[in-house]
Amino acid sequence: MAVGFRFTDYIPPQSQNPGFGSLLKIFLQLITITSGDVGEALSWLSSLDKQYKMTSDEYGIGDFIQDLKEKGYLSEDAGSGEIKITPKSEQNIRKSALEEIFGKLKKSGKGNHNTPHTGIGDETSTDRREFRFGDSVEQIAMTDSIRNAQVNHGLGEFYLTEKDLEVTETEHKTQSSTVLMIDISHSMILYGEDRITPAKKVAMALAELVTQKYPKDTLDIIVFGNDAWQINVKDLPYLNVGPYHTNTVAGLELAMDILRKRKTPNKQIFMITDGKPTCLKEGTKYYKNSFGLDRKVVNKTLNLAAQCRRIKIPVTTFMIATDPYLKQFVEEFTAVNQGKAYFSSLQGLGHLIFEDYKQNRRKNL
């Protein structure tokens, strides 16, 4: 008699040395969480190794640290002995974030996005549609059109009519300028939830995506707390929150200034925040109110939303919070700007931004 399946308790295999590559992935994640603090990241890695036995007697954390130095991921100051990550590590952190959030993407020679406009476009797509007046002969999909004629009229006496024709859809491509605003107010680490690390990962992934697939686009990154300032992509792993309020007005003003200088026809602002605007700068002093929605701060913020609309800059807000009164403010802000708003969990943030980045493109025809 044949023996069927036998089920037993699963006994996991003994932990094996994951090698340099696996430890590197964990280390790069820890570097992002610790805002570039190598010592703290290695301390956490050692704790994880103690708990999960990731290394072996043949390859320990000390060997891994030495490999990091030899392979160019870490540099050590000869005088002070301080260990820092190198540009090679920074680039690998961005690539890791891109793969984690957006999936692996092949590098393209041209930086192009789809637009909703079709017809005689710049690049063919896989979509088919019926023939319309104005379509060129080159767009006709002959195999599909002949098949339609056979289905519609039979095989006895073959003939082709306009209604049988299918064309290959084409897509217009365009350039885009994007400003990504990241809230670094103190609330981004309050209540036991780390919100700044996912925001950093999204920013790094988006920056790497633009570099790889859309090199003609521009991406500028702004952080805003009591004030707003621009940072470089290479600075993202070191980004941390401060004891700041939320000066959304300063962030929007800086974003508008940057986009005014861009010559691309399509401009947009993405804003990642977890709270309401609570701060304004008046001269050299700050006007602050963290209790509820301050009318003075809110009205100034809404005025800037209207200004963005008038100069055709949509603002997409990604609110990492679900408080009803915050939702009401974001909805009002979005209505004034005629932009978009998402009330997102941290886990879904990257996918939302990626999809919106692709869909927000418009071409002026």
Write down which residue in 143, 170, 197 finishes a domain. 170
Determine contact, residues 189/195, Cβ cutoff 8 Å. yes
Judge if 141 and 277 occupy the same domain.
no
Q: What is the pLDDT of residues 244-270, one digit of tens each?
A: 999 999 999 999 999 999 988 889 999
Whats the size of the chain, residue-wise?
A: 365
In a domain, 71, yes or no: yes
Residue 116 falls within a domain, yes or no?
A: no
HSE toward the beta carbon, residue 41, CA cutoff 13 A: 24
Give pLDDT tens digits for 107-151: 433 334 443 444 444 555 556 778 877 777 778 888 888 888 888
Listed in sequence order, the residues at least 6 apart from 351 whose beta carbon sits closer than 8 Å to its beta carbon are 101, 102
335 and 207, same domain (yes or no):
yes
Distance (Å, rounded) from C-alpha 277 to C-alpha 275? 7
Q: Can you say whether the dihedral through the CA atoms of 133, 134, 136, 139 is positive or negative?
A: negative
Are 235 and 341 contained in the same domain? yes
H or E element: which one contains 280?
strand 279-282
Residue type, 134: G
pLDDT at residue 326 in the model: 82
Tokens of residue 321, six digits: 């919070």
Residues 149 and 204 in one domain: no
Q: What is the pLDDT of residue 12?
A: 56
Is 12 part of a structural domain of the chain? no
Residue 52 located in a structural domain: yes
Asked whether 213 and 107 are in contact (CB, 8 A), the reply is yes
Q: Which residues contact 6 (CB under 8 A, 6 or more apart)?
A: none
Is there a single domain that holds both residue 247 and residue 297? yes
The residue whose two tokens read 């470089």 is: 232
**Rounded (10°) angle between helices 196-213 and 19-33:** 120
Q: Are residues 310 and 264 in the same domain?
A: yes
Please name the amino acid found at residue 331: E
Q: Domain check: are 206 and 243 in the same one? A: yes
Provide the token pair at 110. 């041209």
Number of structural domains, the chain? Answer: 3
Question: Are residue 147 and residue 193 in the same domain, yes or no?
Answer: no
Which pLDDT value is given to residue 109? Answer: 37
Same domain? For 74 and 145 the reply is: no
Which of 70, 99, 102, 101 minimizes the C-alpha distance to 86?
A: 70
**Average pLDDT of the chain, as a whole number:** 84
Task: Give the DSSP letter of residue 140.
Answer: B
Residue ranges of the chain with per-residue pLDDT less than 70: 1-5, 10-18, 103-127, 170-173, 358, 360-365
Domain carrying residue 71: 20-85
Q: Are residues 185 and 131 in the same domain?
A: no
Residue 345 phi/psi, 5° resolution? -80, 165
Residues 291 and 146 in one domain: no
